[in-house]
Amino acid sequence: MTPPREDDLPPELLAAYADGELPPDLAERVARWLAADPEALRMGDEQAGLSPTNEFLMDELAVPMPTPREWAACQAGIRGELAKPRRDYWGVVYVAAGLAVAGVLATVWLGALNHRFAPLALVLPTEESDEEMLVLASPGDVEILSMHEEASSLLLVGDVPWDEDVVLAKAHELEYIGVGSDADGRFPAVPTDPTADDAPLLWAPAPP
Amino acid sequence: MRSVTGPTTTDGDDALLARHRAGDALALNALFLRHRDAAYRVAYRLLSHKEDALDAVQDGFVKAMQHIGRFEQRSSFKTWLMRVVSNAALDFGRARRRRDQLKAAAGGQLDPEPPGHEPQVMLEGTELRERLDGALQRLPEQQRRTFVLHMDGGMSYREVAEALEISVGTVMSRLFYARQKLKALLADRVPT
């Protein structure tokens, strides 16, 4: 049986060899390779020169360490930050998004009783982004009915906790499928051009 | 026998974390004292600025403790901390570059260097260190991060792999090519 050729070893192993990270059997193969191949030896020396095993290099590259006073300030900063009560912004967002969705569903359900429909969510380009967003509602459309006590401290009384529209998804995250009219013609077909300014995507009942 | 909580504590990181969760403030001190030097060296090498590096260590330590739930002890606390601190340092570096670019584009003058950034302080380091720091900035970010975690963080290949969630083979490959580039950039300045 032919033993494996040492010069078939990948050169990346020279890094691990220089750092002493190879298992003994593989390290022995690399050592034989280095003994037989001057080019591999040159590359191996380059790797060893920039390895933490090069004590002279590590002495030369020692970084200027902070003073005790600077360490104390850093430690005090950490303690101070960790002592602050954390604000769970995502919790507020989840609660608000849940309320908005619940509001949409309630509106759909109520409106269905009246068989009257109006566009609620539109695909609109936003000013800050080139991507179209599926806007679910504007802040004025949302009324907060209840909120977890921990999140309530973040709000001014009666204010919605954001200034932007509630965005359900980016346009490219959606798959547009045709929606035809129902038997009474109350559902117009959904346009397949999501960039149209007034392209209705979701329809909800209008208030009575 | 109850161990001493301090720089000489014999408690492992997991035990200190458990004591921290139980409200033992000294456990956090012990963790900080144990890992601050390596964390600072990593941050300094990624930023080349003393004050920014200290800020990155502080920010990284706070985030590491606040999001300790994500760590879930799948690796050691040290690898988790180094991951977060190196992230913080890279974020600081990106923010600084953006500020500098904006100021340059606006034709404005750069702010005076804050304490710790003055040229005379930078000159205190060796020439080789300054050249290595400059050469490191020219490496791709992930190669630079891998190199610094291994060299300055004192982390094994396995630990770097865990910290960056990559394979040991990828660590080896990044280190090999990072050193090849650094050697070329540093010419004959690297002692062997």
Tell me the sheet residues that pair with A200. A122
pLDDT at residue A30 is higher than 80: yes
pLDDT tens for B155-168 read 999 999 999 989 99
What pLDDT sits at residue B103? 74
Whether the CB of A16 is below 8 Å from some CB of chain B: the reply is yes
pLDDT tens for B84-114 read 999 999 988 888 877 777 777 766 555 554 4
Among the partner-chain residues A46, A54, A73, the one whose CB lies closest to the CB of B183 is A46
pLDDT tens for A126-169 read 444 445 555 566 656 666 666 565 555 555 444 455 555 555 55
Among the partner-chain residues B62, B156, B176, the one whose CB lies closest to the CB of A47 is B176
Whether the CB of A28 is below 8 Å from some CB of chain B: the reply is no
Gyration radius of chain A's alpha carbons: 32
* Burial of residue B157, with CB atoms counted within 10 A of its CB: 0-12 exposed, 13-18 middle, 19 or more buried: buried
Angle at B130 between CA B124 and CA B132, to 5 degrees: 150
Q: Which two tokens stand for residue B31?
A: 């963790």
Q: Using CA atoms, how far apart are residues A123 and A205, in angstroms rounded to an integer?
A: 18
pLDDT at residue A176 is higher than 60: no
Give the dihedral of Cα atoms B17, B23, B27, B31; nearest 10 deg: 50
pLDDT tens for B137-157 read 889 989 999 999 999 999 999
Q: Where are the alpha helices (DSSP H) in chain B?
A: 13-21, 25-47, 50-66, 68-71, 77-106, 119-122, 127-136, 141-151, 157-164, 168-186
Q: Using CA atoms, how far apart are residues A115 and A146, in angstroms rounded to an integer?
A: 29
Q: Which two tokens stand for residue A191?
A: 């346009």
- Find all residues with CB under 8 Å of B145, minimum gap 6, and list them: B46, B86, B90, B164
CA distance B107 to chain A (A): 25
Between positions 81 and 110 of A, the ones with CB within 8 A of B are 81-82, 86
DSSP run (H or E) holding A124:
strand A117-125
Q: Using CA atoms, how far apart are residues A75 and B192, in angstroms rounded to an integer?
A: 38
What pLDDT sits at residue A68? 94
Contact across the interface for A63 and B125, Cβ inside 8 Å? yes
What pLDDT sits at residue A16? 95
Is B58 in contact with A77 (CB distance < 8 Å)?
Answer: yes
DSSP B117: -
Whether the CB of A15 is below 8 Å from some CB of chain B: the reply is yes
Helix and strand numbers, DSSP H then E, in chain A: 7, 4
Whether the CB of A49 is below 8 Å from some CB of chain B: the reply is yes
CA distance A39 to chain B (A): 14
Q: Using CA atoms, how far apart are residues A66 and A104, in angstroms rounded to an integer?
A: 56
Among the partner-chain residues B36, B132, B173, the one whose CB lies closest to the CB of A61 is B132
pLDDT at residue A101 is higher than 50: yes
Task: Using pLDDT thresholds of 50, 70 and 90, give the confidence band for residue A55.
Answer: confident
pLDDT at residue A121 is higher than 50: no
Whether the CB of A55 is below 8 Å from some CB of chain B: the reply is no
Contact across the interface for A49 and B192, Cβ inside 8 Å? yes
What pLDDT sits at residue B127? 77
Is A21 in contact with A1 (CB distance < 8 Å)?
Answer: no
Whether the CB of A78 is below 8 Å from some CB of chain B: the reply is yes
What pLDDT sits at residue B97? 79
Most confident of A12-16, A105-109, B15-19, B132-136: A12-16
Among the partner-chain residues A14, A52, A86, the one whose CB lies closest to the CB of B151 is A52
Among the partner-chain residues A15, A57, A71, the one whose CB lies closest to the CB of B172 is A15
CA distance A26 to chain B (A): 14
